[in-house]
Amino acid sequence: MNAKPKILLSESDADRLERLLDSTSDSAFPGKAELQAEIDRAEVVASADMPGDVVTMNSTVQFTVLSSKE
Protein backbone atom coordinates (compact mmCIF):
# COMPACT_ATOMS: atom_id res chain seq x y z
CA MET A 1 0.00 0.00 0.00
CA ASN A 2 1.33 3.46 -0.91
CA ALA A 3 1.71 5.89 1.96
CA LYS A 4 0.06 9.25 1.40
CA PRO A 5 2.35 12.28 1.44
CA LYS A 6 2.39 14.51 4.50
CA ILE A 7 0.07 17.53 4.36
CA LEU A 8 1.03 20.71 6.18
CA LEU A 9 -1.61 23.46 6.36
CA SER A 10 -1.40 26.89 7.88
CA GLU A 11 -4.17 27.75 10.31
CA SER A 12 -5.50 30.40 7.93
CA ASP A 13 -5.56 27.98 4.97
CA ALA A 14 -7.29 25.32 7.07
CA ASP A 15 -9.89 27.90 8.13
CA ARG A 16 -10.48 28.94 4.50
CA LEU A 17 -10.94 25.35 3.41
CA GLU A 18 -13.29 24.58 6.32
CA ARG A 19 -15.41 27.64 5.45
CA LEU A 20 -15.54 26.45 1.84
CA LEU A 21 -16.74 23.02 2.93
CA ASP A 22 -19.29 24.50 5.33
CA SER A 23 -20.74 26.76 2.63
CA THR A 24 -21.10 24.10 -0.07
CA SER A 25 -23.59 21.26 -0.35
CA ASP A 26 -22.47 17.71 -1.01
CA SER A 27 -24.29 17.70 -4.35
CA ALA A 28 -22.62 20.94 -5.47
CA PHE A 29 -19.16 19.72 -4.45
CA PRO A 30 -18.67 16.05 -5.41
CA GLY A 31 -15.17 15.89 -3.86
CA LYS A 32 -16.25 17.39 -0.54
CA ALA A 33 -15.81 14.23 1.56
CA GLU A 34 -12.39 13.56 0.06
CA LEU A 35 -11.22 17.11 0.71
CA GLN A 36 -12.49 16.91 4.30
CA ALA A 37 -10.58 13.65 4.80
CA GLU A 38 -7.36 15.29 3.55
CA ILE A 39 -7.87 18.31 5.82
CA ASP A 40 -8.52 15.98 8.76
CA ARG A 41 -5.20 14.18 8.27
CA ALA A 42 -3.20 17.39 7.74
CA GLU A 43 -0.88 18.86 10.32
CA VAL A 44 -2.13 22.40 10.98
CA VAL A 45 0.45 24.93 12.15
CA ALA A 46 0.47 28.66 12.85
CA SER A 47 1.09 30.69 9.70
CA ALA A 48 4.22 32.19 11.26
CA ASP A 49 5.62 28.68 11.81
CA MET A 50 5.25 27.48 8.20
CA PRO A 51 8.58 26.39 6.69
CA GLY A 52 9.84 28.62 3.88
CA ASP A 53 9.67 25.79 1.34
CA VAL A 54 5.94 25.16 1.79
CA VAL A 55 3.51 26.79 -0.65
CA THR A 56 0.37 28.16 0.98
CA MET A 57 -2.86 29.50 -0.50
CA ASN A 58 -2.58 32.88 -2.27
CA SER A 59 1.20 32.49 -2.58
CA THR A 60 3.23 33.43 -5.63
CA VAL A 61 5.73 30.76 -6.65
CA GLN A 62 8.62 30.79 -9.08
CA PHE A 63 10.10 27.53 -10.34
CA THR A 64 12.51 26.20 -12.94
CA VAL A 65 11.99 23.17 -15.17
CA LEU A 66 15.37 21.46 -14.76
CA SER A 67 15.30 19.67 -18.11
CA SER A 68 14.91 22.95 -20.02
CA LYS A 69 16.28 25.51 -17.53
CA GLU A 70 13.09 27.58 -18.07
Q: What is the pLDDT of residues 5-22, one digit of tens each?
A: 999 999 999 999 999 999
Residue 70: predicted pLDDT: 67
DSSP 30-59: TTHHHHHHHHHHSEEE-GGG--TT---TT-
Residue 66: predicted pLDDT: 87
Domains in the chain (CATH in brackets) are: 8-48 (1.10.286)
Q: Parallel, antiparallel, or unpaired: how do β-strands 8-10 and 43-45 relate?
A: parallel
Residue 1: predicted pLDDT: 67
Give the global pTM.
0.79
Are the C-beta atoms of 15 and 56 separated by less than 8 Å? Answer: no
Ranges in the chain, pLDDT < 50: none
